[in-house]
Amino acid sequence: MRGKFAEEYLPDVTVDVVLLSVAPDGALQTLLTRRMNEPHKGLFALPGVFVGRRESLQEAARRALRDKGGLTDVFLEQLFTSGEPDRDLRGRIVSVAYFALVPIANIEERFATAADTQIVRITIPWTGEKGGPVRAISARGASVDLAFDHSEIIGGAIKRLRGKLNYTPLGFELLPKNFTLYDLQRIHEAILGRALNKDSFRRRILASGFVEDTKKKQTHTAHRPAVLYRLKKGR
Amino acid sequence: MRGKFAEEYLPDVTVDVVLLSVAPDGALQTLLTRRMNEPHKGLFALPGVFVGRRESLQEAARRALRDKGGLTDVFLEQLFTSGEPDRDLRGRIVSVAYFALVPIANIEERFATAADTQIVRITIPWTGEKGGPVRAISARGASVDLAFDHSEIIGGAIKRLRGKLNYTPLGFELLPKNFTLYDLQRIHEAILGRALNKDSFRRRILASGFVEDTKKKQTHTAHRPAVLYRLKKGR
DNA sequence: TGAATAGTGTCTATAAGACAATATCCC
DNA sequence: GGGATATTGTCTTATAGACACTATTCA
C-alpha cells in the first residue's frame, strides 16, 4: 500500500509547523488544519507534511506553510523533534516541529475561514519560561482539542520565543517593515504575556542597535504621531 | 540487503550524541568514535546509532552513550535535527543530535584510549553565542578531522550550553556531588571561554538558590579550605 | 483648545565589576 | 610565621522601573 509513497517520501519522518502571529488586540494566534485521516481524524492539528526524499526539513516546512496556509517568505526556525514509539498509530513516526513567525496582515482571509483550516487564539496557562501545553480557542470562542501532542508543541514554540525575544530580532518578524516602538512593545507584551515598562523598553530597544529611524511618522492619528522605525540592515 | 535491518530500525533516522566534559585544566572535551563504514570511513565522528522501532529518540541516545562510551545516568538534552538530502551517501538520513554532560571523573580511562574511540579537546574559533564549527585536537595535539557536519553540531551544543548556563542548573552536571564555588566558576569559564569576575560570580550563584552549603570543607589543601556546596534538591 | 499618545528628564533600586581587608588552613 | 586561597565588605558603574513633565498631532 505504501509502495509509491515510500519512493517519494521518508515513510517515518514528518514536519509540523507552529505558525505564530499577534492579532491587533494582542492575542497570540496560530494556524490549524483539520485531520482528514486516522489517527485523530476530525481533530485539528498543526499543518504538517511527510518529508520528501529530495527535500530538506526546512523545505518541507515551507511546503507545509505554502500548501496549507498560502504563505511564502516566512521566518522559520527549527523547534524540537518528537519520536515516542507510541505517538502515532500508523507506525513509528518521528516528527520535526518548526515555528514560523508572520505579521498578522500577511495571513489571507480565506485560510482563516476555510472549512479545513482555521486561525485560533492561544491562551497560555503558565508564566515565564516554564513551558507546557496551551489552550486553543476558536474564533467563535469555543475550546479546540488538538491532535497528538500539538498543544505541547505550541507551548514549546512560545517558550522558545520568550527566551530569545530579548536578545534576537525575532519580534520584528511579526511586524510590517515600518513600525512604531509602541507597536513593537505590544508584540513583546503579547509574546511575554505581561505588561512592559514603556520607558525602559524604549531605551533598551534603541540601545540594542536593532532599529533605525525611517525619518517618517504616523499619519492620521488622533494624537501626536509616533516616529516609524525599521529593522536595521546587516544585523 | 536492508530487509532485516528495516524491521528493527527506522532506516532513515539516526541519533548522534555530543558528550561534553571539562578537563581539570579547563579544556572542553568530547568523545568521538572512528567510522568503520562508508561514508567518511576512517574519520572520527560523534557516537551515533540508528533509532530502533520500539525505542524513543532519547533511549537511542542513551544506548549510543552506553555502547560507545560505557556511560549511564548522564544528563541529556535534544539539540538539533539535520536532514539535508545530500548529507549521507547511504541515502536520505535524518539525524537527531543530543548533547550530554558528564563530570570528567566519570569517563572511564579505557574509552579515552581505545582503538576506535578517543576523547578530544575542543577549541572554539568564535566568541559569545555566535555559533559555528569548532576544531578537535587529539590527546597528542594533532588536529582531528570530523565526519559529516559534526564539527558544526559540536559548535551548536556549545552555543546552546552558553545560552542556558546562566539561568539553568546545567553547569552542575559537569561536577561531582560536592564542589566549591571556585570549581563551579572554572566550569562556567571553560564553557563561556572567558574569565569571570570572582566576586559577582559568588554573589550570583549564592543568590540563585541553586546551591546549598554542605557544612563540609575541603581537606588537605595548602591554603584555607573552601566550603563544599551541593545542588539544592527540588529546583 | 482639549484629548490622546509620543517622547524626555530625573530619581531610585538592583546587580555586576573593582578592590581592599580579613580569615583560615597547611607547612 | 609565611604562603596561599577563601570569604566579607565597600565603593563605583550600568541598567531597569517609576514617575513627572513637555511635545505634537487631529478634531
pLDDT tens across the length of chain A (235 residues)? 456 777 899 988 999 999 999 999 899 999 999 999 888 999 999 999 999 999 999 999 999 999 999 999 999 999 999 998 876 666 789 999 999 999 999 987 767 667 799 999 999 999 999 999 999 999 999 999 999 999 999 999 999 999 999 989 999 999 999 999 999 999 999 999 999 999 999 999 999 999 999 999 999 888 999 999 999 987 5
Smallest CA–C1' separation from A218, nucleotide:
D25
CB pair distance less than 8 Å for B56 and A85: yes
Q: Residue A200 CA to nucleotide C3 C1', Å?
A: 25
Beta-carbon contacts of residue B92 (< 8 Å; ≥ 6 apart)? A10, A53, B12, B83, B85
In whole angstroms, give the CA distance from residue A186 to residue B228: 46
Task: Compute the count of residue pairs across chains A and B with CB atoms less than 8 Å apart.
Answer: 52
B52: nearest CA partner in chain A:
A85
Out of A10, A54, A92, whose CB is closest to B94?
Answer: A10
Position B135 confidence tier, pLDDT thresholds 50, 70, 90: very high
pLDDT on residue A89: 63
Q: What residues in B contact A84, CB-CB < 8 Å? A: 56
Q: Residue B214 CA to nucleotide C26 C1', Å?
A: 22
Q: What is the DSSP letter of B80?
A: E
CB atoms under 10 Å from CB of B61, counted, come to: 27
CB pair distance less than 8 Å for A83 and B96: yes
When mean pLDDT is compared across B77-91, B134-148, B157-171, B174-188, the lowest value belongs to B77-91
pLDDT on residue A194: 93
Question: Which H, E and C letters describe chain A, residue by residue?
Answer: CCHHHHHHEEEEEEEEEEEEEECCCCCEEEEEEECCCCCCCCCEECCEEEEECCCCHHHHHHHHHHHHHCCCCCEEEEEEEECCCCCCCCCCCEEEEEEEECCHHHCCHHHHHCCCEEEEEEECCCCCCCCCCCEEECCCCCEECECCCHHHHHHHHHHHHHHHHCCCHHHHHHCCCCECHHHHHHHHHHHHCCCCCHHHHHHHHHHHCCEEEEEEECCCCCCCCCEEEEECCCC
Local structure of B23: helix, strand or coil: coil
In whole angstroms, give the CA distance from residue B227 to residue A132: 37
Beta-carbon contacts of residue B207 (< 8 Å; ≥ 6 apart)? none
Distance set, CA A112 to CA A14, A44, A100, A117, B226 (Å): 24, 13, 16, 7, 62
pLDDT, averaged across chain B? 92
Q: What is the mean pLDDT of residues B122-142?
A: 96
Q: Which of A15, A77, A92, A165 to mutate against chain B (most B CBs within 10 Å)?
A: A92
Local structure of B133: helix, strand or coil: coil
Out of B10, B51, B83, whose CB is closest to A56?
Answer: B83
pLDDT surpasses 80 at B131: yes
pLDDT on residue A1: 46
Q: What is the mean pLDDT of residues B216-229?
A: 93
A77: nearest CA partner in chain B:
B80
Q: Residue B170 CA to nucleotide D10 C1', Å?
A: 32
pLDDT surpasses 60 at B2: no
pLDDT on residue A137: 98
Out of A51, A81, A92, whose CB is closest to B53?
Answer: A92
